[in-house]
């Protein structure tokens, strides 16, 4: 049984980029689409992220169930914005007028733009984070963060979190398979059934997580983790010319988003 989420070891251009660069690129991407919430820009960036999955040779079918849930949730966000936003020009009604009944729930142009903006930003944040986790080696990330003078104990906390993502994914799959073998099928057709499913899934995962964290902490203490202020590394990250070029592109992207958000380049903002 293999994990459906976590680092996928390949030798691609995205895998060879500096881990710290990938982390700050993800942060700058999130800041950029938050300060300039354009659904057109988010759609273009989302398309680029999908190209990144193809270049990194990370098939989305590894997370087919999760991807389906993410897309359904984004559509739900769009529909909610269509229902609650009444400002703007009315384009139509969700429930048209039938005789003396209706019309109800007007759909406005502002509601469509706002809904598309929120749903595309949500998709972009989720899939870009998935791509970052899939192409970033946690060990190299720890080394690259320590090169920025970040204490290795803090960098290793992030590494441990990334290491535990596929582990918890496997634990969740194991718990669900054990439930099915006992005749317990997860159901989400009602509030009571959802609570029942969460209870049967959450508590076993919580117990498993606490036991693994306890075992990990004892193992780290036994090996003298944190005894010295510095440590050695078997594998080290490197900085290449392509990393400098990507850094300049990411900084330019963030600068353009900031300028667009305060009203500069109106010609550019008219179509992105």
At 60 the pLDDT is: 75
Mean pLDDT for 160-167 is 75
Spatial CA neighbour of 13 closest among 247, 235, 236, 246: 246
Which spans in 56-151 are helix H?
64-84, 109-135, 138-146
Six token digits for residue 7: 């680092």
Higher-confidence residue of 9 and 3: namely 9
- Report the alpha-carbon distance of residue 127 to residue 130 in Å, rounded: 5
Omega before 103 cis (within 30°)? Answer: yes
At 1 the pLDDT is: 45
- Report the alpha-carbon distance of residue 36 to residue 258 in Å, rounded: 7
Six token digits for residue 251: 């900084």
Whether this model's pTM surpasses 0.85: no
- Least confident range of 25-34, 81-90, 240-249: 81-90
> How confident is the model over 210-248, as pLDDT tens digits?
787 788 778 877 767 666 666 666 677 888 999 999 999
Cβ contacts of residue 134 below 8 Å, gap of 6+? 6, 7, 8, 53, 56, 58
Name the most confidently modeled range: 132-141, 156-165, 183-192, 203-212: 132-141
Q: Where are the domains of the chain?
A: 1-147+241-272, 152-228
Q: Quick one: how far is CA 111 from the chain centroid?
A: 25
Task: Look at residue 4 and tell me whether its pLDDT is greater than 60.
Answer: no
Is the Cα dihedral 37, 55, 19, 240 positive or negative? Answer: negative
Task: Look at residue 125 and tell me whether its pLDDT is greater than 80.
Answer: yes
Which spans in the chain are helix H?
13-16, 19-35, 39-55, 64-84, 109-135, 138-146, 152-181, 191-222, 241-261, 266-269
């Amino acid at each position: 049984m293999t994990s459906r989420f976590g680092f996928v070891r390949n030798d691609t251009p995205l895998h060879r980029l500096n881990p710290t660069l990938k982390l700050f690129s993800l942060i700058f991407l999130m800041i950029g689409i938050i300060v300039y919430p354009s659904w057109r820009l988010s759609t273009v960036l989302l398309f680029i992220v999908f190209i990144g999955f193809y270049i990194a040779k990370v098939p989305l079918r590894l997370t087919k169930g999760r991807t389906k849930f993410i897309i359904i949730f984004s559509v739900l966000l769009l529909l909610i914005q269509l229902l609650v936003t009444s400002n703007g020009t009315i384009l139509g009604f969700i429930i048209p007028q039938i005789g003396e009944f209706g019309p109800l729930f007007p759909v406005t142009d502002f509601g469509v733009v706002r809904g598309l903006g929120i749903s595309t930003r949500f998709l972009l944040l989720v899939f870009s984070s998935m791509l970052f986790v899939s192409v970033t080696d946690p060990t190299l990330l720890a080394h690259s963060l320590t090169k920025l003078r970040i204490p290795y104990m803090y960098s290793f906390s992030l590494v441990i979190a990334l290491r535990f993502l596929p582990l918890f994914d496997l634990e969740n799959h194991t718990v669900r398979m054990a439930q099915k073998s006992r005749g317990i099928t997860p159901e989400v057709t009602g509030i009571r059934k959802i609570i029942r499913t969460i209870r049967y899934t959450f508590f076993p995962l919580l117990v498993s997580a606490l036991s693994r964290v306890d075992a990990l902490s004892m193992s780290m203490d036994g090996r003298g983790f944190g005894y010295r202020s510095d440590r050695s590394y078997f594998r080290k990250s490197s900085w290449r010319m392509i990393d400098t070029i990507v850094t300049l592109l990411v900084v330019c992207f963030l600068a353009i988003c900031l300028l667009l958000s305060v009203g500069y380049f109106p010609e550019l903002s008219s179509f992105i």
